[in-house]
Amino acid sequence: MTTPTTLAPRGASLASAPSNRTLSESVEADLYHPTTNPTGFINIGTAENYIMQPTIAAFTAAHPISLSARNFSYGEGAWATKRLRQGMAAHMNRALRPVVEIGERDLLMANGVAGVCEMLGFTLAEAGDGILMGRPIYQAFPIDFGTRAKVEAVHVSFGDVDQFSPEAAACYERALVQAEQHDGMKVRALLLCHPHNPLGLCYPQATIIALMQLCTKYKIHLISDEIYAMSVYNVPDSTADGAIPFSSTLAFDSSDYIDPAYLHVMYGMSKDFAAGGLRVGCLYTRNEELWRALSGMSVFSMSSVAGDLVATAVLEDEGWLASFFATSRQRLSERNQLARTLLDAKGVPYRRGANAGFFIWAEFRRFLAGTGKEGWEAEGLLVERMMERKVYVTDGKSFGAEEPGWFRVIFSQEEDVMREGLRRVFEAVGA
């Protein structure tokens, strides 16, 4: 007999939805360590800049924050302190090189980019409206926009079209027309992940312009998530095939292609700064109406005063930051090379030309047959086998991949963790 729910329909819907809490608790509570816990879980599935976390931790230890009585009040409000906004604006001007200088008044701060996504869902769309997302795409975007704001992800398939080419705009347009004319859904925005997660590539300016023109044609917003802007690095010549340098959507005069009121950029400290736990993210927009609307919701997504102070201390030390980012890029390049070497040794293909982020998009399709199943069920069995060997890797289905057998491998770990993690993966798939 089914126990009747004690919740309202929307609460019951949330309670019945899949949750990552059990997975997170099982992995994080039993993490691998080469000497103290060699049989623990290895996490090469969560995109964090692990190799730089000790460096950011050392900075905060050397620059401890001192909380005054005022810091225990609500301070300057839900939109963060002026110093934090000034520090973030200065950093974004250096990192994104915008043609129009970013001012602190142009930024809306929140407790991470996830909070920004949710606020955009509430302000740019109504429940049931859609947002275009090319597949594969960062797996949390549909959750960030959909869980409470109820905005639907409209996944765009590309087939044989290179999704980083201007020709991809036609694929987005077909998906938009399908959603609006056949599915009765109003599409409100196009979400760009630039640099891309999970593919690790950057968009060339010609493609960005084509997408801007598409957004202008249909009067929809272009949202560019540029949270990996400082995590772009050199890759070996043999694997650089077509690697595109990063250039922000703000780094050229786009006024001929899109109204500035329809162009918005998200950024935060979770990736480039190795500070996901700090919960500091922001939105840049020149749309004053949107800025006011978001400010009215900021109280629900505000970061803590302590986080504000730590972030400000980091952002204001430009010399230290320059050294930090140089070291991060060097280490990411080295780990990227290591991951490619290990995959090459087992004949596992991967997306070429990737030069950004903490991940490689690796193809394990040939191992699906060994599961005795087909399609997504076979991919699910590979995931189960990996988890049995206590290694966590994110599967392609989570990213809305067009076909099964692809996995996002995180390489921003220490070398021993990477080697042991992939050893377990290869064992699980029978490589």
Which residue has 């059990």 as its token pair? 22
| Whole-number pLDDT of residue 415 | 95
Residue 1 lies in a domain: no
Residues 95 and 197 in one domain: yes
Domain holding 160: CATH number? 3.40.640.10
Residues 311 and 327 in one domain: no
285 phi/psi in degrees, rounded to 5: -150, 145
Residue partners of 101: CB distance under 8 A and separation at least 6 = 93
Say how far apart CA 346 and CA 424 lie, in whole Å.
13
Task: Give the orientation angle of helix 318-345 with respect to helix 53-62, to 10 degrees.
Answer: 160
Residues 373 and 288 in one domain: no
Beta strands 221-225 and 187-193, pairing class: parallel
Backbone region of residue 78 per phi and psi (left: phi > 0; alpha: psi in -120 to 50; beta: other values)? alpha
Residues 17 and 146 in one domain: no
| Whole-number pLDDT of residue 68 | 83
Residues 135 and 151 in one domain: yes
Residue 4 lies in a domain: no
DSSP assigned state of 2? P
Say how far apart CA 315 and CA 304 lie, in whole Å.
16
Which of 293, 317, 341 delimits the end of a domain?
317
Residues 29 and 81 in one domain: no
Can you give the residue range of the structural domain that contains 148?
69-317
| Whole-number pLDDT of residue 383 | 96
Residues 259 and 337 in one domain: no
Residues 115 and 139 in one domain: yes
Say how far apart CA 337 and CA 351 lie, in whole Å.
13
Q: Which of 231, 225, 271, 219 is nearest to 248 (CA)?
A: 225
350 phi/psi in degrees, rounded to 5: -155, 165
| Whole-number pLDDT of residue 303 | 84
Neighbouring-strand partners of residue 408: 361, 394
Domain holding 27: CATH number? 3.90.1150.10
Which of 282, 317, 352 delimits the end of a domain?
317
Tokens of 220: 């929809």
Residue partners of 321: CB distance under 8 A and separation at least 6 = 91, 314, 315
Residue 265 lies in a domain: yes
Say how far apart CA 96 and CA 108 lie, in whole Å.
17
Say how far apart CA 429 and CA 423 lie, in whole Å.
10
Say how far apart CA 1 and CA 190 lie, in whole Å.
45
Q: Which of 115, 155, 160, 158 is nearest to 138 (CA)?
A: 155
Which of 317, 346, 381 delimits the end of a domain?
317
Residues 125 and 250 in one domain: yes
| Whole-number pLDDT of residue 10 | 85
19 burial via Cβ count (<10 Å: 0-12, 13-18, 19+): exposed
DSSP assigned state of 431? -
What are the start-end ranges of the H helices in 139-234?
141-146, 168-177, 205-218
**CA 74 from centre of chain:** 30
Residue 290 lies in a domain: yes
Q: Which of 427, 409, 414, 425 is nearest to 46 (CA)?
A: 409
E strands along 305-414, which residues? 359-363, 391-392, 394-395, 406-410
Tokens of 249: 């959507």
| Whole-number pLDDT of residue 241 | 67
Residue 61 lies in a domain: no
Judge whether 332 and 410 are in contact, CB under 8 Å: no
Neighbours of 304 (CB within 10 A): 13
Residue 350 lies in a domain: yes
Residues 265 and 172 in one domain: yes
Residue 281 lies in a domain: yes
Residues 362 and 410 in one domain: yes
Predicted TM-score (pTM) of the model is: 0.94
Residue 59 lies in a domain: no
Say how far apart CA 385 and CA 149 lie, in whole Å.
35
Q: What is the pLDDT along the chain (431 residues), one digit of tens a residue?
A: 567 889 988 888 888 877 667 677 788 889 999 999 999 999 999 999 999 999 999 999 999 888 888 878 877 777 788 999 999 999 999 999 999 999 999 999 999 999 999 999 999 999 999 999 999 999 999 999 999 999 999 999 999 999 999 999 999 999 999 999 999 999 999 999 999 999 999 999 999 999 999 999 999 999 999 999 999 998 876 555 678 999 999 999 999 999 999 999 999 999 999 999 989 999 999 999 999 999 888 888 888 888 899 999 999 999 999 999 999 999 999 999 999 999 999 999 999 889 999 999 999 999 999 999 999 999 999 999 999 999 999 999 999 999 999 999 999 999 999 999 999 999 999 98
> Kind and range of the H or E element at 340?
helix 318-345
Structural domain total, the chain: 2
Neighbouring-strand partners of residue 197: none
Residues 390 and 305 in one domain: no
Judge whether 392 and 382 are in contact, CB under 8 Å: no
> Kind and range of the H or E element at 266?
strand 263-268
Neighbours of 380 (CB within 10 A): 15
